[in-house]
């Protein structure tokens, strides 16, 4: 991996919350400067494009199906694998090929993407010695795991890939099913900057690339994202319960605060869903509990106390205990309603 010269303002700029895409490309070129101009030019010429790249895609659920679809529409040759065949059918109808295992998929691919449920699934589809993708990926191939998973597992995958002459990037995403459909995801990438740069044409079809550092740093960024979201969700549902108890029309309340300092994307997307009692999963409670558990494990490892995170995880665990793990994360309101013996079912008729 190239060494980044300390004299460059790279670190400061990469820590910017939303560096422009063009700036990112410049930073990645600078990150490779110590390897020489010839190496940088070679990496640019070797970018992954539809004419030179076969793509493998593992995981065609709510997010993966839309993300993979963008690559097919852009002209990439794509092979897919999913345990439930029906979930892959829309991509097969678009022209994708079907593989019977991650191993057979990787044998037909230059870049393998995965976006599955849990770290155990990631380990199975990528690292299993008999059926995992890495077991048949050719030297020089790249694995891109877009699952929200353990940073330590991302580092393990990177080391295993390197031992085989391959590369690995951890690139979890944020933006939900809407971001996946509209190619507007935030992508948090960790790994070798030269490899990330080669992947830019692929990532650009799914959303905005944010380079976060070496192996595992993409996962750390996504975990921080989840901590921020869950704290915002707790504030949103508590504010709604308070407004209801105070006798306010909660729909009017949400509209009123949305243009002030309390406004947020969570309020805009989730507030009215809650009032409509629309608990359909754009992101499952079960998966959110998994993410928050990883966050807490990392906090323990770092000796970090985040009491808001711990409380929020308990509230989401209570949803699972009531058999509501298959609902969307906006179902958090149900926990607060039970705690306070109230219901917001008819609390915002003017905005429902």
Which residues are known to be catalytic? 222
Q: For residues 133 and 58, is the Cβ–Cβ distance under 8 A?
A: yes
Distance of CA 275 to the CA centre of its chain: 27
Alpha-carbon distance of 174 to 323, in angstroms, equals: 25
Helix orientation angle between 285-302 and 307-321, rounded to the nearest 10 degrees: 150
Q: Give whole-number Cα distances, 246 to 82, 234, 239, 337, 340, in Å.
A: 49, 18, 10, 14, 13
**Bridge partners, 56 (sequence order):** 79, 112
- Residue 350 exposed, middle or buried by CB count within 10 Å (0-12, 13-18, 19+): exposed
Q: Please say whether the beta carbons of 157 and 142 come within 8 A.
A: no
Tokens 């959303």 belong to 207
């Amino acid at each position: 991996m190239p060494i980044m010269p300390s004299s460059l303002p790279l670190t400061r700029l990469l820590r910017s919350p939303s560096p422009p895409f063009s700036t990112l490309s410049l930073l990645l070129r600078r990150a490779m400067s110590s390897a020489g101009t010839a190496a940088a030019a070679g990496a640019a010429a070797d970018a992954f494009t539809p004419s030179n790249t076969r793509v493998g895609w593992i995981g065609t659920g709510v997010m993966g199906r839309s993300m993979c679809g963008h690559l097919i529409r852009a002209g990439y040759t794509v092979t897919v694998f999913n345990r439930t065949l029906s979930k892959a059918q829309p991509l097969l109808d678009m022209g994708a090929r079907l593989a019977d295992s991650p191993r057979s998929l990787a044998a037909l691919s230059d870049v393998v993407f995965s976006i599955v449920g849990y770290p155990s699934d990631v380990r199975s589809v990528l690292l299993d010695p008999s059926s995992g993708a890495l077991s048949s990926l050719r030297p020089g191939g790249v694995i891109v795991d877009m699952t929200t998973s353990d940073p330590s597992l991302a580092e393990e995958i990177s080391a295993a890939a390197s031992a085989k002459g391959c590369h690995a990037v951890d690139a979890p995403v944020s933006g939900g099913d809407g971001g996946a459909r509209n190619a507007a995801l935030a992508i948090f990438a960790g790994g070798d900057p030269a490899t990330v740069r080669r992947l830019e044409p692929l990532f650009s079809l799914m959303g905005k690339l944010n380079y976060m550092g070496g192996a595992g740093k993409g996962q750390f960024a996504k975990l921080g994202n989840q901590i921020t979201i869950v704290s915002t969700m707790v504030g949103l549902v508590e504010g709604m319960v308070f407004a209801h108890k105070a006798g306010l029309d909660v729909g009017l309340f949400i509209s009123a605060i949305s243009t002030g300092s309390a406004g947020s994307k969570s309020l805009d997307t989730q507030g009215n869903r809650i009032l409509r009692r629309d608990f359909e999963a754009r992101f499952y409670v079960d998966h959110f509990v998994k993410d928050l558990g990883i966050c807490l494990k990392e906090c323990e490892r770092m000796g970090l106390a985040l009491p808001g995170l711990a409380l929020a995880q308990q509230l989401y665990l209570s949803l699972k205990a009531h058999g509501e793990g298959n609902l969307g994360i906006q179902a958090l309101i149900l926990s607060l309603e039970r705690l306070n013996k109230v219901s917001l079912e008819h609390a915002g008729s003017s905005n429902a």
